Structure 1
Amino acid sequence: MRIPESRGPLSNALFALLAQAPAEAGTGLDGLYHLAAGQVAGTSDIIGDEDIQLALFCLYELHYSGLAGVSDDWEWEPALIRVRQLVEAPFEAALRAAAHRAAADFELPAGALTSDQVADVLFGLAATDTGPSVSRYVARKAGLDQLREFLIHKSMYQLKEADPHTWAIPRLSGRPKAALVEIQADEYGGGRPERMHSALFARTMRGLGLDVSYGAYVDAVPAVSLASVNLMSLCGLNRRLRGAITGHLAIYEMTSSQPNRFYGNGFRRHGFGADVTHYFDEHVEADAVHEQIAGRDLAGGLVEAEPELLADVLFGATAAMALDGRLSAHLMSSWEAGASSLRAAVPAAA
């Protein structure tokens, strides 16, 4: 991914540092650490902080496909990992607070839970989601510009779909590992690159004249879009949060099938054919199967094997719901006001 435009002092200092080799950084790393400490201490809303979320997003990108022109030696530079951890701690605390609010009225069954009970709890959590429905709006009202904006927001994750959850595979064993591999094999197209879900999403974007280069629209999306992806990277890259990434994937699958049906209908309403809607249509069917595997065998199997991870499984699920609700509210409030949900104008589609 290309290095984006900075959004404040932290991302600006980070990008200036990454332009050098680690051996040339000198005191710049200490300066970045102290700057980051001041930024996180001074923000009133770390989830919505444009500068912090962009910096964290780019720090995580070093562990995926990297950043254009940036040395791969930065990936495990201890001082840079220290900066990332400094930002992660208050970000995780804010996510836990949001997750707690999202599930404040939800009561858990008493005692140790079976895998079926864990799945029932997650399905119950999914049913409590009463936030604004972007999928229904897309199906019934969204105009072409809003459809493009919708795809641009989603592109920050969908163009690397499954990758954050794949980090969990070597951290699991037995039944939950086998379940995750089964789900991910479908996400990666069963060995056929043209059937990878990220490739299907790119095809949808092309149908609306959008740039399918990964990160092409990073400058256009707001902090809350980046925060949703940063949540996945946080949970996927930290072994201690392996329960959270399984809960995230489970709730993701459980809340996906019906919305994707609506999304497909919204694009069909504008006359788009199967080349554009196939991504959504594929998820209607696939996620109806995946939700059972993810709920019972993945999340449920993990809690049966390691009961102490139940709280983190629920954290991953409810944090995902909380951020999805916040992003949905942003989209709907923008569109209903006749405004764009993006930070910057996007060139007209081809």
Structure 2
Amino acid sequence: MDKFVRDFLYANGIKDSFIKDSEIVNSVDELASRAFVDGEQEARLDAHRALYAINLAHLSTPWTRSPVNVNHPVIAAIKYRIEQQWELSERAKYTATLESLPSVEDFPEWVKEHVASHHSNELHPIFKYLRDEASLDQMREFFVQETPLEMLFGDILAFMLPGVYGSIKVEFVKNYWDEVGHAVDARVHRNMRGDLMNFLGIPVDDYVTNHEFLVVEELELINMYLSLATNRARLTELIGTMLATELMIPGRFEYQIAGWKRLGLTDTQLAYHLEHVTVDAEHALDWLYHVVMPILRQDATVMKDIVFGVNRRLDTAARVSDRLYDHIRNIAPNRKVA
């Protein structure tokens, strides 16, 4: 499916009559069932690679190699059917959890404790390993795998801006303003990350031009964000996902900073990481009190969607951490910083 999607996105001369061919739709349904119902690893990887290609195509520009068929009904059907089956399988995991939620006024303390105690945050053994033991090649591989979400975070925020107004939009824009470095190009977060990628010899556009190096859990993570961002009906869930992100990032980054410094990197080279330790701690509380709480006070019924987003982010991050903990320890150590 991944190859079909990539070929179709960039093919010239696709005719509308092609949408009458039900074989593609049937094959997508079969793939999604194997991936998300049966849990077949190969099918899961193929489905997420195809979905990643479609999601990235929604970020393309006409002055680069444009995916001319990104809005074709066939692509829309593939995206919709993969995402629908994926969401059904995810929601089934949280049926009991979503029936036992706090009151609106108790939500801030509940969610802070919920995130702080989760397996995916700095409690996970991978972060102590990065801090205390990982070689340069192992740290580099962890950094490479995390690239898609980190490089596309500003784009995800931008998708959230239209149609939202008042204090909620103000908070979105404040977050986005930090993401784009207060309009100073060198301080734009993706550019700061790109500087470290250049230092480490990592192609800055590798996450776009070459998806095969990404483990399926990382594809799942970035697709979760991009699929929610490109589906307006899922905005509340994405707000929950972003809340979990902001609450958990600073602690994780502190361990990585210590690990990089152990290997000889300087504050200048680690500017991207250092920025997130301070900025995201503030963002987390602002997102909670100026975005989530006003929404819950307006409509408490959406707490289920917000908590679903929180839980998906936490558990997906845990699967990423579990996989990368095994993955990077299988990389032979021992290059040092030049």
TM-score bracket for the superposition, by shorter chain length: 0.7 to 0.9
**In percent, how many aligned pairs have the same letter?**
19
Give the match for residue 259 of structure 1.
252
Structure 2 residue 317 is the aligned partner of structure 1 residue 324: yes
Q: CA deviation at 1:153?
A: 0.7
53, 60, 68: which one aligns with 1:65:
60
Structure 2 residue 231 is the aligned partner of structure 1 residue 238: yes
Q: 1:171 to 1:61 in 2, by over 3 A?
A: same
Structure 2 residue 112 is the aligned partner of structure 1 residue 123: yes
Give the match for residue 223 of structure 1.
216
More moved, 191-200 vs 207-216: 207-216
Per-residue CA shift, 1:196-255, capped at 9, x if unaligned?
111111112122121112525521011111110000012111111111111111110100
More moved, 234-243 vs 74-83: 74-83
- The two structures have a TM-score, normalised by structure 1, of 0.85
5 Å-filtered alignment, 1:37-56, equals: 37-43=29-35, 44-45=38-39, 49-56=44-51
Give the match for residue 7 of structure 1.
none
Structure 2: distance between partners of 1:68 and 1:32: 30
Contact 1:136 1:259 in 2 (8 A): no
Contact 1:47 1:224 in 2 (8 A): no
Q: CA deviation at 1:175?
A: 2.1
Give the match for residue 194 of structure 1.
186
Structure 2 residue 74 is the aligned partner of structure 1 residue 85: no
Per-residue CA shift, 1:28-84, capped at 9, x if unaligned?
773432221221123322787111000000111121126998644422222321221
Return 5+ residue gaps in structure 1 as ranges: 1-9, 341-348
Give the match for residue 292 of structure 2.
299
Q: 1:263 to 1:245 in 2, by over 3 A?
A: same
Give the match for residue 4 of structure 1.
none
7, 18, 35: which one aligns with 1:27:
18
Q: 1:323 to 1:82 in 2, by over 3 A?
A: same
5 Å-filtered alignment, 1:59-208, equals: 59-65=54-60, 71-98=66-93, 100=94, 104=97, 107-110=100-103, 113-114=104-105, 117-131=106-120, 132-208=124-200
Paired residue secondary structure (1:274): coil
Contact 1:21 1:71 in 2 (8 A): no
Q: 1:207 to 1:194 in 2, by over 3 A?
A: same
Contact 1:175 1:297 in 2 (8 A): yes
More moved, 279-288 vs 23-32: 23-32
Contact 2:11 2:68 in 1 (8 A): no
More moved, 302-311 vs 150-159: 302-311
Per-residue CA shift, 1:253-304, capped at 9, x if unaligned?
1001121111111101000112321111111110111111111111222222
Per-residue CA shift, 1:68-117, capped at 9, x if unaligned?
9864442222232122101110111233244x28x94995324xx14xx4
Paired residue secondary structure (2:140): helix
Structure 1: distance between partners of 2:59 and 2:130: 31
Contact 1:175 1:298 in 2 (8 A): yes
Structure 2: distance between partners of 1:185 and 1:29: 45
Give the match for residue 277 of structure 2.
284
Q: 1:271 to 1:281 in 2, by over 3 A?
A: same
Q: 1:96 to 1:280 in 2, by over 3 A?
A: same
Letter of the 2:287 partner, please give it: A
Structure 1: distance between partners of 2:278 and 2:307: 25
Q: 1:46 to 1:298 in 2, by over 3 A?
A: farther
Paired residue secondary structure (1:275): coil
Structure 2: distance between partners of 1:213 and 1:202: 9
Letter of the 2:280 partner, please give it: D
Contact 2:9 2:70 in 1 (8 A): no
